Copies of this chain bind each other. A is one copy, B any other.
Amino acid sequence: MSGSGANPQGPGLLLRPWKGPALSTPDALGGDADGAIIVVMERLNNPEQLELQVGVAKVSKYATSESGDTLEMTERPHGGLSLVLADGQRSGRAAKIISNLVARKAVSLLAEGVRDGAAARAAHDYLRTHREGKVSSELVMVSLDFVTRTIVVSRNCHCPVLVVDREGLRSLDEHSEAIGLYERTKPVITELPVSPDTWIVAFTDGVLEAGGHVCVTFDVAALVGDFVTRGEGNAAALADTILARAMELDQQRPQDDMSVLVLSLVPAQVKDSARRLTVRFPLPPF
């Protein structure tokens, strides 16, 4: 079942009609004979100076000292940036070990120049071998790839990835399998054009299911749509807003590890070419 056939965008993927030409580049992504579903959107040139902004916010489940989610970032050797978010099965230390193992494997391969599709497959094979198919992890990777000139979203998770651009909001929610359990699991990959005013929002199930224990549903897409429409905040502010709302729905006692990853492509705001990174990392009491 190859997604590079008649309808490379995959059935039911788009919330709005897609107008651009669809280009399929399975080779570039490692989507080959064994058939990852690959969705490739239009590529654009980059006439105006753009900047990628990333915002991440994460908390651990209430009363656990360690989040079972792991986020890692690396520069791509052929240019660009990759972010990897893994959510290990269960929570606490056991989940952390799994998500760390998965994120570390994926990110170290990406840092060596391995294609996203191959890195996700390798992370799966590695976890399945290491834990004999008994433990799963969700995995989402978002890469800004200077070679393909696209944003590459690879999903092995049940949480959707939300995309907002000038044409509206879409949910990348095609079915994909968590890694680690079954043979030949593959990612669902979507390529997005490098285009101004594009937002990509990924999160783990602690966010998706926030409020669930009091039977409230968190409509993350509505919050994201409102935020972007207001046009007042950046990626970090959106990540914080989503996390704050999820925490509120769980009465400030997160029922599961919560992680939010937001990327936005915006016209460059500072005209120097400096790359910048900031981290805030609260220390536990020693």
Contacts and interface: CB of A to CB of B under 8 A. Distances in A.
A135 interface: no
Q: Report the contact-size class of chain A (Cβ under 8 Å from the partner).
A: 35 or more
A275 B280 CA distance: 6
A75 B60 CA distance: 15
A236 B66 CA distance: 26
B277 A278 contact: yes
B49 A77 contact: no
Nearest to A45: B286
A281 B81 contact: yes
B46 A286 contact: yes
Nearest to A268: B282
A279 B52 contact: yes
Interface of A (DSSP majority class): mixed
B276 A56 contact: yes
A55 B136 CA distance: 34
Contacts of A60: 273
Given A194-B286, A282-B49, A56 B272 contact: no
B146 A284 contact: yes
Contacts of A286: 45-46, 146, 149, 194
A285 interface: yes
A278 B281 contact: no
Contacts of A272: 59, 247, 282
Contacts of A79: 66, 284
A100 interface: yes
A160 B13 CA distance: 53
A151 B194 CA distance: 39
Given A57-B276, A73-B277, 19 more contacts: A49-B285, A51-B280, A51-B282, A53-B280, A56-B278, A59-B273, A59-B274, A66-B79, A71-B277, A72-B75, A73-B279, A75-B100, A77-B97, A100-B111, A104-B108, A270-B280, A274-B280, A276-B281, A278-B278
Closest 3 CB pairs of A and B: A54-B279, A46-B286, A56-B277
Interface of A: 45-46, 49-60, 66-67, 70-75, 77, 79, 81, 97, 100, 104, 108, 111-112, 144, 146, 149, 194, 235-236, 239-240, 243, 247, 265, 268, 270, 272-286
